[in-house]
Amino acid sequence: MTFDQIGSVDAVSDALAAQGYLAERPLALAIHLAVTLEQPLLLEGEAGVGKTEVARALAAATGARLIRLQCHEGIDLHHAVYDWDYPRQLLALRAAEGGVDEGALFSRRFLLRRPLLEALEHDGPVVLLIDEVDRADDEFEAFLLELLADFAVTIPELGTIQAAHRPVVVLTSNRTRELHDALKRRCLYHWIDYPNPDHERAIVHARLPGVPEAVAARVVAAVGRLREQGDLYKLPGVGETLVWARALLAVGDDVDLYDTLGVALKVHEDVQRVRDRRVLENV
Amino acid sequence: MSSGFVIDECWRMSDPVIAPLASLAAEMRALGGRVGVGELLNAHRALEAVDSPSPEDSRLALRSVLCSGRGDLERFELAYEAVFGAGRVVADPSALDELGGVERAVLPRAGMPGTARPDQGPRDSQPVPAAWSDVELLREKDFAQYTEEEIALAHRLVVRLARRGPTRLSRRTRPVRRRRGHSPDLRRILRASLRTGGEPVHRHWQAPSRRPRPVVLVCDVSGSMAPYARMLLQYMQACVAARRRVEAFAFGTRLTRITGELSSRDPDRALRRATEAVTDFSGGTRIGSALAQLNRGHGRRVGRGAVVVILSDGWDRGEPELLEVEMARLRRSAHRLVWLNPLAAHPDFEPLARGMRTAVPHADELLPGNSLASLEDLAGVLEEI
């Protein structure tokens, strides 16, 4: 099923579920709007709730190409859009011994295409995932804003490159800092929360086919108890639930859960607290 | 986009939908959200794009479009309840005038002639200190003894101080002329050598640029800090306005984030909104549980190399063990931890208060923070970090 065939919110849910990603209805609706209105989607949420997975599942479900731009501090045009292959240009210059003109030097042959340029030029549907955009800085955000408006990039030597089809853009943020208002308002916004126990059990079954119901129920109940504790530094996410289930499958279901806490809790004080309070009794 | 175009496009859409949408936007703005004309038009398109006419789907669609952050989600719920609550659509004719009001708010920014700017007046009547000796006296005087007039006079000096803050090296580089100690800028060298037939004749150098380090200000607003709270809040407001990546919190028995409230451009309005947001002014102090909330709820803002400044006198009613653990955690997450204690200005001060005894070993710097002169010291310390 392609983007054009996504006619309704249910179609989105079904398509994602077929890829093993169980989206709740608000998220499916937000995705449907992002595709229909051709607006970017900004996903925020706790760690490990599946923000990046959504884009992967969407690309797989619609046969679109997933292009991922991982933002980091100091990311700029050369990391994100394009760069010139200077060493090869120098070699070409030397090899030709002064007989090369500028047009041949600054041509496609020596252009290194980075993710955003690939997304613009790809022939066919694209899901562009801009991951952890809060790790980039203000200058890059300003550039992103322009790009998301026109989907065109100007390379001085080559001219303006316009996208033939607008990609579906998904941005994720971990809220280490507030994004610029202008960028946030250009996007549709969705907050992904922890799933409720039934939904989480369904996710475990979808991602680990063949897992016994007893294991899934035990892990989901344990994670639920941990999330109820009001004073843990880092709460376990859905990713941790899945790893815990796989751990139980690997070492056997009868293992003492307290021994496997390291799978779900990564802060020493949290592990101590859970052990001291015997939080996982009867799970 | 001129105002005429906006009105035409709106009138072409179905009228019964506009009025409630405009009311919804007005409610959200009253609660502090920022909803503009663009969002309203988008909301309408979103409603058309939703295939099933169920009210829940429409609500979710409006939520995706009108919210731009987690704080907006709650505002949206309240506004939606107010406008569409009890299944009744409020067809408020004055809401259409509200749409005109939105444009009136937009127009001054576009520089249209003939529109008055209501908040221009009071800003110009800021008092100015008369002579240098007045400034000197003001600098050394303890905040607790300021008169109303002196508070107003000190404002400009506070604003100047707030601009100074910590920086750090970033990954971005910028071109520099000197070669000493800096690395070669390969990209520029190669590019320049194309001009000279492939020989790198011209050399270029680069150095990492500096950018502001995130600062987290946490102010104790309990009863014992009351004489200092006002000036310290002014300083926090000036910091939030002057630099990027500043977060501000206030606490008594619980922690409240006031960055959004303090970021209004008008300082008085900012302070007023912050005061309204904090509910436990002049109450008791539980520093440990406030820091616990900071570490858990806002841990990501504090990490990433932030400098945390705690403004408190250390009179704590909570358990010392909690304070110890949370201070240790905060110290590990933050780049530096600075403690400002107005009582520390007293020459005989020793950190005997239980809170101070527990907290001081974990702080990197202990400063008074009771006067403009000590805020200047703070600014100096921050720049050195």
Give the per-residue pLDDT at B118.
45
Task: Please tell me if residue B297 touches chain A, with a CB cutoff of 8 Å.
Answer: no
- Closest to B68 (Cβ–Cβ): which among A72, A139, A185? A185
As to burial, measured by CB atoms within 10 angstroms (0-12 exposed, 13-18 middle, 19+ buried), residue A104 is middle
Q: How confident is the model at residue A249 (pLDDT cuts 50, 70, 90)?
A: very high
Q: How confident is the model at residue B69 (pLDDT cuts 50, 70, 90)?
A: confident
| Contact between A37 and B39 (Cβ < 8 Å) | no
Q: How far apart are CA A231 and CA B318, in angstroms?
A: 16
Q: A90 and B190 in contact by Cβ < 8 A?
A: yes
pTM: 0.78
Task: Please tell me if residue B195 touches chain A, with a CB cutoff of 8 Å.
Answer: no
- Count Cα atoms within 13 angstroms, Cβ side, for B280: 19
- Closest to A37 (Cβ–Cβ): which among B45, B292, B303? B45
Mode of pairing for the β-strands spanning A82-84 and A111-113? antiparallel
Listing DSSP states for B197-259 in one string gives TT---S--EEEEEEEEPPEEEEEE-SGGGHHHHHHHHHHHHHHHHHSSSEEEEEESSSEEE-H
Above 50 in pLDDT, residue B261? yes
Find chain B residues with C-beta within 8 A of A177's C-beta.
214, 245, 301, 304
Which residue on chain B is closest to A230 by alpha carbon?
A: B296
Tell me which DSSP letter residue B169 carries: E
Find chain B residues with C-beta within 8 A of A187's C-beta.
68
Task: Please tell me if residue A9 touches chain B, with a CB cutoff of 8 Å.
Answer: yes
**Mean pLDDT computed over B363-373:** 89
Map residue B363 onto helix, strand or coil: coil
Task: Please tell me if residue B168 touches chain A, with a CB cutoff of 8 Å.
Answer: no
Task: Please tell me if residue A178 touches chain B, with a CB cutoff of 8 Å.
Answer: yes
B positions 320-349 inside 8 Å of A (CB): 325, 329
Give the per-residue pLDDT at B126.
55
Give the per-residue pLDDT at B98.
44
Q: How confident is the model at residue A191 (pLDDT cuts 50, 70, 90)?
A: very high
Which residue on chain B is closest to A35 by alpha carbon?
A: B49
Q: Residues A189, A194, A196, A202: what is their CA dihedral angle, to the nearest 10 degrees?
A: 90
Selected residue with higher pLDDT from A129 and B224: A129
Query: Using one digit for the tens of pLDDT, what is the confidence trace for B12-45?
Result: 444 566 678 888 888 888 888 888 888 888 888 8
Above 70 in pLDDT, residue B129? no
A positions 62-91 inside 8 Å of B (CB): 72-74, 76, 78, 84, 86-87, 89-90
Q: How far apart are CA A85 and CA A110, in angstroms?
A: 5
Give the per-residue pLDDT at A1.
67
Mode of pairing for the β-strands spanning B215-220 and B246-251? parallel
Alpha-helical segments (H) within chain B:
3-12, 15-30, 37-49, 55-66, 70-84, 94-110, 121-124, 132-140, 148-162, 186-195, 226-242, 259-262, 267-277, 287-297, 299-302, 320-333, 354-359, 372-384
- Closest to B34 (Cβ–Cβ): which among A8, A36, A181? A181
Task: Please tell me if residue B192 touches chain A, with a CB cutoff of 8 Å.
Answer: no
- Interface contacts (A, B; CB < 8 Å): 109
B positions 95-114 inside 8 Å of A (CB): none
| β-bridge partners, A159 | A155
Query: Using one digit for the tens of pLDDT, what is the confidence trace for B283-307?
Result: 778 899 899 999 988 888 777 789 9
